[in-house]
Structure 1
Amino acid sequence: MTPNLPYPALYASHGGIWVATAEETRAVSRGEAIRLAADTPVILLNASLIGQRLGHPELNGLDLLELFAFLRPARFMVPTPKGLARATGLPIPESDADVAGFLRDAAAALLAIPGGDWPEREGAWNALQSLFRLRWPWAPALSPQVAKPGQAERWLFAKLPEWEERPPRPAPRTITLPDTDVAERLSRLTGSGAERRQGQRDYAAAAAGAFAPRAVRDSPNLILAEAGTGIGKTLGYLAPASLWAERAEGPVWVSTFTKALQRQLAAEGERLFPDPAQRKAKIVTRKGRENYLCLLNLEDALQGGFAGRAAILAQLVARWAAYSADGDMIGGDLPGWLPTLFRRNGSTALTDRRGECIYAGCPHYRKCFIERAARASAEADIVIANHALVMVNAARGRESATRPTRYVFDEGHHLFDAADAMFSAALTGQEAIEIRRWVTGPESGSRGRRRGLAARLSDVASYDEEGGLAIAEAVDAARALPSDGWLQRLNEGEPFGPVEALLAAVRGLVYARDTNGSADAGYGLETELAEPDGALVEAAGPAGAALDALVRPLVKLGRRLEAVLADAPDWMDGPARARIEGAIASLGWRTETVGAWLALIARIGGPADPEYVDWLAVDRVEGREYDVGLHRHWLDPSKPFARTVLEPAHGAVITSATLRAGGDWDVAQARSGAVHLLRPAQLFSAASPFDYPGQAEVLIVTDVKRGDLPALANAYARLVVAAEGGTLGLFTAIRRLRAVHARIADRLAREGLPLLAQHVDPIDTGTLVDIFRDDPRTSLLGTDALRDGVDVPGHSLRLVVMEGVPWPKPSVLHAARRLAGGGTAYDDRIVRARLAQAFGRLIRRADDRGAFVLLSSATPSRLLDAFPPGTPVRRVALDEAVDRVRLSLAGRLRHEAPANA
């Protein structure tokens, strides 16, 4: 029976605020809406977003998204009125004023789900009893609808299946792929009725070269392949990859940079393996362990480790875990909007972000999502991963015996930046306190299940006396690292311990050397690690001694654990061995980290190493300090990438639509690491088949003055209105993004054009893109993540607007690389690549049409070759740009010759 809800519904947009009851819908003021929500349970859709629009961020109520997450775990819904209408089968509300009344109808429709055929019924009753005790607002309305089951429900941890241990997979066979077989596999993937695309066939044939037998040790068959948008490179490399995996009986790892491409690859898997069961076995998505739900952390949360709203989140996540395909909380089948509803209360604590996994010592080890994914990938044909995970596994992975020999790096233009992050080192307060917690365990009075070395390895300590002594020495030495409250002590000039004293000296020197007023402006500060003052040199010695005292017992403990494995005591069964192997890997990672810190400290007052760039930094957000420390990056991070990842491989494809966007093949080879290999890479390029002169144009607006915020906001608003939404606005600074959003959101709402913004709306980036894709009248503002990771074909994205030329941000690291890379030419390569990537968001298929607008009168002509050949480029005033956008998107643009650019 559908309940008769007594609750009012509240909806707020940039166009107004409305409240609906059973009798009427009326517009209300912001103050009245806040008072109503404080006094009465109200039905909401995305309480976080509504609260922000009301200026009341702590707003809570009967959130329909939470109700949907309980009733339909592991299912996604676009978190908008339109998405909710589709999920409930109700008519889409015609205007914002109709939404509040619609929310009441949608609530009734959702609450009626338990009365029908409900696949997710198991576990609901028990979860609801817990949620009732936690005072979840929906529990009273939902309880009469969810009947008590006739027999006891299985608890989540009893329901999850166990993974099975399998023997090691044999090494891949040595085979050669005939060109005709690759072409035939490609034809099968594209379909018999598909148009024959020669560029795609040539691309597949070139990619097949990576799967030939390796001829030179420590040098793979490397293919650098640039394929313009529309070539069909995904199926182009999957054709030889899947054929080799099938015949050689080995895995191919396909690595991406964005989660959007990972999802696209998983979808393309249906072409390879139409049968779902076979596809699940043959194609596996792997991510870093911090992406997966940790069952031990979840159990702790369900048994009282969480309180308040975080405890409600834990119950909803438990509902999801029982139906999840893979336990992936970041980009998997957990709706990205769910954690944001709880304002970071607990979601990160449900994953293993601190590297504290106890492996086989965990009671849920045999059901662990992370371990299941690792074992599934060992048996898969295609493993979809990301650049960071590939590098981590190659550098310090536990699966050395099953390390892949063939890779495809899609979005290859991001490899340089991914390697830069992976192979860097940072001795900062935040990093040091994490090492301390990992070694010592919980500080006195802290909550949670955090466990130190002694607790994780207690049985080893009791068996091996030397190992026990090493643990005790490490715990004692780790107390010299920063502890809770370290940043406040630095601000008060009272550091505690040698490492905090070093960080205090770093902070003092960074502020002393500020030359451009950044300290007053509230931005982060940095300075080269050169000519250190006396205070920093004096602090370096004791800090180095303290770190050396820590690294020695860690190294000793690692050796003792290896000896325990070799001795194989009576108590060591398979799970115990796995736990110790995991501990050895974790110790190796921490030992490597502390070793890098020691090298950084040795640099203070010593000679510079030309391989590295070292600097000191105070990290701040809007004037608030959150970290202080020393940093070291490789001048050329493609060198460790080539040594760690490429050299052990037998073959690799590095591909992108913009692999050379910043220059020629020499640049592509340098940034991919190809120049560090003994054998030269094979080069391939294929131009996009799209008709860019007929489908797009570039407009450079000449009369929006740089730094004039009102003029910038006016330009964005007029262009969005001219395009009737469907606009992706890109910014190089978060402050300007927020300022423009604040000025234009209400203005656009009056035109019936919704506006979303990264760093403004409390919604994760993936969900923002989903909402943008779902509504052609919606526009989206964002920064770098949207420039590189948005795939929105069709009418939903028809205009891209950039606030200005995306020059690289000045920094110590950039200055060093600029000096080594040719000065201005280095900057130009970066800008060309960014312009090409941003323009690439616009035309995604043959029937797309749109305009690219750059709000910068001073755009150098030398940079305009970043756009595809033949694309019209015009310098125009804002009025003309608005007119051309309006005409072009109405399909009436005259294809005239470009004006002087």
Structure 2
Amino acid sequence: MADFPYPALHASHAGAWIAAPDGETRSVGRGEAIRIAADTPVLILNAPLVGQRLGYGDLSGLDILELFAFLHPARFMVPTPRGLAKTLGLAPPADDAAVAAFLREAAARLLAVPEGDWPEREGAWTAGQSLMRLRWPWAPALLPLIEKPQRAERWLFSKLPEWEESAARPAPRTITLGDAEIEERLDRLTGHGAERREGQRSYAAATAHAFAPRDMRDSPNLVLAEAGTGIGKTLGYLTPASLWSEQAGGAVWVSTFTKALQRQLGHETERLFPDPEERRTRVVTRKGRENYLCLLNLEDALQGGFAGRAAILAQLVARWAAYTSDGDMIGGDLPGWLPALFRRNGSTALTDRRGECIYAGCPHYRKCFIERAARGSAQADIVIANHALVMVNAARGREMGTRPTRYVFDEGHHLFDAADSMFAAALTGQEAIELRRWITGPERGSRGRRRGLAARLSDVASYDEEGGRAITQAVEAAMALPSDQWLQRVNEGEPFGPVETLLAAVRGLVYARDTKGAEAGYGLETELAEPTPELVEAAGPAGEALDALVRPLVALGRRLEAVLAETPDWMDGPARARIEGAIASLGWRTDTAGAWLALIARIGGPADADFVDWLAVDRFEGREFDIGLHRHWLDPSRPFAKTVLEPAHGALITSATLRAGGDWDVAEARSGANHLLRGPSHFEAASPFDYAQQAEVVVVTDVKRGDLGSLANAYARLIAAAEGGTLGLFTAIRRLRGVHARIADRLARDGLALHAQHVDPIDTGTLVDIFRDDPRSSLLGTDALRDGVDVPGHSLRMVVMEGVPWPKPTVLHAARRMAAGGRDYDDRVVRAKLAQAFGRLIRRADDRGLFVLLSAAMPSRLLSAFPEGTPVTRMTLDEAIVRAQRLSSVPAMVHERAEQV
């Protein structure tokens, strides 16, 4: 690497360093580092992050992460010097000052890859030629090292396998599982000779009731099971699930809330099916369409639809697409850090986020990742999904022919929130403009691959006169919806069209009734009650405009159904699939517009006791980005029970915090069980961990509430005392950022890295990977890090919460609070959040940890959120620092032993 002509640059909160080609490394000021980077191409690791550290957002250069993504697509790596060293088999740099020189060594190792045994060689030369034309900084150094293949490379579109149609799966057989076979299967999954866990065995036996034959229509065998951390829930429910699937010949859908648990489930199923080929067919992971790479969007991007840095991203994604296991861009094997390297040129345009799929009309339909996953799940034994997808499929009638009869809802404490989001309606400017674009296609002069209804159904329009007329009417009616620059026109008092006029009236009423103070910078909202004459007057024309849109959409859907029934000569299997897909998309959009009509009808009309309606202006840091009307179910578990639970034959809803620190009435109310004809069975198993010895809860009494300086000082001192290993949780992004800005440099000088959600230009999953990989690092975050984060061992030894996580006083919360017990309802919400946060701390038997709550006002009645036996002490910050110092003395061998295990 001595002849590589460019220097390497590293910057952290502790400073900046340059490693010159002659081997000299020196510390430089941030101004000098920026000047060098602007004048000379530099080696860097994660350009957006380094640029943020330097205060130079446009930093660019030879990013080693981009080189790694090209050479090793679909391969995992923690994007830090430590993670890079571990992946490449190099000694990690000792400190920040040694990183710059290490980057040159790592680049040399990577540039040597093409000369050896390179599993991902196929397609590299072809992609490299395109990247050379795009002036990718690495191309001149890398391309001469890649030997030109003797024949044209077969990769990506020509290499991807095609999925195959298969016969419909017969209905599951009626079987009953025996206790002996459940125990035998559990022994096989846990391994003969493994420690016998009675709690896990009891759990497996109790959850088997969800797989028993159903004996009453619209009333599944429902099991609510609360099992503490360490019981072994995953293998506990996979035992009866796998047995039932094997004997009954049906699929069990295991639904989670977080991507982390989805990945964990994927690993656990290796015990069921050790052979990778067998596991690939018998275990399938399903996600929403917006998670998967759209091959048609990718082809358009590769053929000139993207420019500049976005075009380079498309080429790197194409390299990944040729090697990915499932095409999942969000939480799959695409490195989470890759799209973040391209900042404004995100990867969202490469997925189908607008519902514009043309199904069988796509030239890549037979190779589509989404279609492959859907067909794979129809034949699989275990389908790993998420709460949102399960509810969407049920509510919109998708895949009715393969609808599962057995569900397992892990992380069941999130079902209420997932249902709240799924069954809500929002008539906002952003939602309306997306519907307009879905119908009309691209606006004049705009770029992109948007295809309107006419383009997606051109053959139907030409074949069927009535269908073509409905398409034309829908396009004309959609012109009444908001268009580009709608928010600017509304803010300037010059709305165009009836819907923009309605949104302008909403905005005016929200600001008129604001009680928080508009200058605070947060979103504003008010109840949809006692509307002003302006709002009532605007509602009429807006309703008429939406009604004029819904009518042709409904007519088009019925006409497409008639076309299918008539089965014209030109319609083969793919054409039928295309029209079936169009019918499903139309049904979704028609239902959305219908919900908007109901919401508009509420203006000036009587309230519906089942719903909570309000008006909102959404803002971020004082800047408006959306305006609209919102409707949520007062109890969203009701539609969940109706659409998902009632048709099922059996379901297990399980979690470590299912009762939220309360009784079973809470679990039944939030899971939808109390809306079923027959009540559920209950199971409870306490965690096997010795919390009295492994954990301690400390309530700090002398950190002044609302004093950002005191809060930051507390976090800094606690993290320094524990020497990292801290997860800091906040209820407000603004305070998180304020604390991070005050303490990051201070901790970095002690060699303690501090990462932060909403600050670092890195996705949340990658931040957790970085935190897990380095025991001396710490991570700050909000709700997304409160649960679903699994960091066992020494890397997470302290959790610090800024205060009691009281619910935000929104219109929706106020309505539910009034309906569900006032203060008791608030207490249940808080206890659930505290229990979930505490659950991050002790993940296995050899963990030790401290849970710190920086709130003198912590009510004693909420302490029941913590596991029984956990010591709770109120003390000063100085005393808490002494407790935290004990954590840093935990032998490193504990962490090393955990890695070996």
- TM-score, reference length from structure 2: 0.98
891 and 43 in structure 1: CA distance in 2 versus 1, 3 angstrom threshold: closer
Matched residues, percent identical?
81
Tell me which amino acid in the other structure corresponds to 1:92. P
Say whether the 8 Å CA contact 2:155–2:322 is kept in structure 1.
no
Cα displacement string for residues 544-599 of structure 1 (whole angstroms, at most 9, x for unaligned residues) = 00000000000000000000000001110000000000000000000000000000
Say whether the 8 Å CA contact 1:3–1:108 is kept in structure 2.
no
Say whether the 8 Å CA contact 1:662–1:831 is kept in structure 2.
no
- Residue 210 of structure 2: SS of its match in structure 1? helix
Q: Which residue of 1 aligns with 2:701?
A: 702
Tell me which amino acid in the other structure corresponds to 1:11. H
In the alignment, does 2:168 pair up with 1:174? no
Q: Which residue of 2 aligns with 1:675?
A: 674
Offset of residue 16 of structure 1? 1.0
Unpaired segments of 5 or more residues in structure 2? 892-901
Say whether the 8 Å CA contact 1:850–1:889 is kept in structure 2.
no
Whole-angstrom distance in 2 between the partners of 1:114 and 1:334: 21
Tell me which amino acid in the other structure corresponds to 1:689. P
Say whether the 8 Å CA contact 2:227–2:686 is kept in structure 1.
yes
Cα displacement string for residues 51-101 of structure 1 (whole angstroms, at most 9, x for unaligned residues) = 000111121110000000000000011000011111222111101000000
Q: Which residue of 1 aligns with 2:782?
A: 783
Cα displacement string for residues 638-666 of structure 1 (whole angstroms, at most 9, x for unaligned residues) = 00000000000000000000001241100
Whole-angstrom distance in 1 between the partners of 2:272 and 2:398: 29
Tell me which amino acid in the other structure corresponds to 1:501. T
Whole-angstrom distance in 2 between the partners of 1:889 and 1:677: 51
Say whether the 8 Å CA contact 2:662–2:828 is kept in structure 1.
yes
Offset of residue 889 of structure 1? 5.0
Q: Which residue of 2 aligns with 1:204?
A: 204
Whole-angstrom distance in 1 between the partners of 2:599 and 2:2: 65
Say whether the 8 Å CA contact 1:300–1:448 is kept in structure 2.
no
Offset of residue 3 of structure 1? 8.0
Q: Which residue of 2 aligns with 1:254?
A: 254
Instruction: Map 1:819-898 to 2 at 5 A.
Output: 819-888=818-887, 890=889
Say whether the 8 Å CA contact 1:14–1:749 is kept in structure 2.
yes
Cα displacement string for residues 458-496 of structure 1 (whole angstroms, at most 9, x for unaligned residues) = 111111111010000000000000000000000110000
Cα displacement string for residues 86-117 of structure 1 (whole angstroms, at most 9, x for unaligned residues) = 12221111010000000011101100000000
Offset of residue 155 of structure 1? 4.0
Q: Which residue of 2 aligns with 1:447?
A: 447
Q: Which residue of 2 aligns with 1:311?
A: 311
Cα displacement string for residues 683-741 of structure 1 (whole angstroms, at most 9, x for unaligned residues) = 00000000000000000000001011111001001100111100000000000000000
Tell me which amino acid in the other structure corresponds to 2:269. G
Q: Which residue of 1 aligns with 2:764?
A: 765
Q: Which residue of 2 aligns with 1:808?
A: 807
Offset of residue 344 of structure 1? 4.0
Tell me which amino acid in the other structure corresponds to 1:832. R
Q: Which residue of 2 aligns with 1:896?
A: none
Tell me which amino acid in the other structure corresponds to 2:788. G
Whole-angstrom distance in 2 between the partners of 1:330 and 1:304: 24
Say whether the 8 Å CA contact 1:482–1:499 is kept in structure 2.
yes
- Residue 653 of structure 1: SS of its match in structure 2? strand
Q: Which residue of 2 aligns with 1:367?
A: 367
436 and 662 in structure 1: CA distance in 2 versus 1, 3 angstrom threshold: farther
Whole-angstrom distance in 2 between the partners of 1:563 and 1:348: 35
- Residue 558 of structure 2: SS of its match in structure 1? helix
Tell me which amino acid in the other structure corresponds to 2:804. V
- Residue 597 of structure 1: SS of its match in structure 2? helix
Q: Which residue of 2 aligns with 1:895?
A: none
Instruction: Map 1:287-298 to 2 at 5 A.
Output: 287-298=287-298
Say whether the 8 Å CA contact 2:340–2:346 is kept in structure 1.
no
Q: Which residue of 1 aligns with 2:749?
A: 750
Say whether the 8 Å CA contact 1:340–1:762 is kept in structure 2.
yes
Say whether the 8 Å CA contact 1:163–1:366 is kept in structure 2.
yes
Whole-angstrom distance in 1 between the partners of 2:10 and 2:193: 48
Instruction: Map 1:258-269 to 2 at 5 A.
Output: 258-269=258-269
Q: Which residue of 1 aligns with 2:227?
A: 227
Whole-angstrom distance in 1 between the partners of 2:578 and 2:886: 65
Cα displacement string for residues 722-763 of structure 1 (whole angstroms, at most 9, x for unaligned residues) = 111000000000000000000000110111110000000000
- Residue 142 of structure 2: SS of its match in structure 1? helix
Say whether the 8 Å CA contact 1:532–1:605 is kept in structure 2.
yes
Say whether the 8 Å CA contact 2:697–2:852 is kept in structure 1.
yes
Whole-angstrom distance in 1 between the partners of 2:91 and 2:398: 53
Say whether the 8 Å CA contact 2:78–2:769 is kept in structure 1.
yes
Q: Which residue of 1 aligns with 2:475?
A: 475
Offset of residue 397 of structure 1? 4.2
Offset of residue 449 of structure 1? 1.5
Q: Which residue of 2 aligns with 1:898?
A: none
Q: Which residue of 1 aligns with 2:894?
A: none
Tell me which amino acid in the other structure corresponds to 2:667. A
Instruction: Map 1:542-621 to 2 at 5 A.
Output: 542-621=541-620
Tell me which amino acid in the other structure corresponds to 1:10. L
Say whether the 8 Å CA contact 1:758–1:783 is kept in structure 2.
yes
Tell me which amino acid in the other structure corresponds to 1:156. L
Question: Which shifted more, 232-241 or 4-13?
Answer: 4-13
Q: Which residue of 1 aligns with 2:514?
A: 514
Say whether the 8 Å CA contact 2:723–2:888 is kept in structure 1.
no
Say whether the 8 Å CA contact 1:529–1:615 is kept in structure 2.
yes
Say whether the 8 Å CA contact 1:306–1:346 is kept in structure 2.
no
Say whether the 8 Å CA contact 2:122–2:155 is kept in structure 1.
no
Offset of residue 515 of structure 1? 1.4
Say whether the 8 Å CA contact 2:754–2:777 is kept in structure 1.
yes
Offset of residue 346 of structure 1? 3.7
Q: Which residue of 1 aligns with 2:192?
A: 192
Q: Which residue of 2 aligns with 1:718?
A: 717
Whole-angstrom distance in 1 between the partners of 2:554 and 2:151: 53
Unpaired segments of 5 or more residues in structure 1? 893-901
Tell me which amino acid in the other structure corresponds to 1:644. T
In the alignment, does 2:493 pair up with 1:493? yes
Whole-angstrom distance in 2 between the partners of 1:763 and 1:397: 36
Tell me which amino acid in the other structure corresponds to 1:851. L
Tell me which amino acid in the other structure corresponds to 2:651. A
572 and 62 in structure 1: CA distance in 2 versus 1, 3 angstrom threshold: same
Offset of residue 541 of structure 1? 0.1
Cα displacement string for residues 210-242 of structure 1 (whole angstroms, at most 9, x for unaligned residues) = 000001100100000000000000000000000
Offset of residue 22 of structure 1? 2.2
Whole-angstrom distance in 2 between the partners of 1:134 and 1:30: 30
Instruction: Map 1:356-435 to 2 at 5 A.
Output: 356-435=356-435
After TM superposition, the runs of 4+ consecutive aligned structure 1 residues lying more than 2 A away are 887-892
Aligned residues: 890
- Residue 632 of structure 1: SS of its match in structure 2? strand
Q: Which residue of 2 aligns with 1:283?
A: 283
In the alignment, does 2:203 pair up with 1:218? no
Cα displacement string for residues 610-658 of structure 1 (whole angstroms, at most 9, x for unaligned residues) = 0000000000000000000000000000000000000000000000000
Whole-angstrom distance in 1 between the partners of 2:234 and 2:185: 13
Offset of residue 527 of structure 1? 0.2
CA RMSD of aligned residues (A): 0.9
Whole-angstrom distance in 2 between the partners of 1:591 and 1:194: 55
367 and 59 in structure 1: CA distance in 2 versus 1, 3 angstrom threshold: same
- Residue 873 of structure 2: SS of its match in structure 1? strand
Cα displacement string for residues 140-193 of structure 1 (whole angstroms, at most 9, x for unaligned residues) = 000111111111101421111100011111111110000111111111000002
Offset of residue 396 of structure 1? 1.1
- Residue 788 of structure 1: SS of its match in structure 2? coil
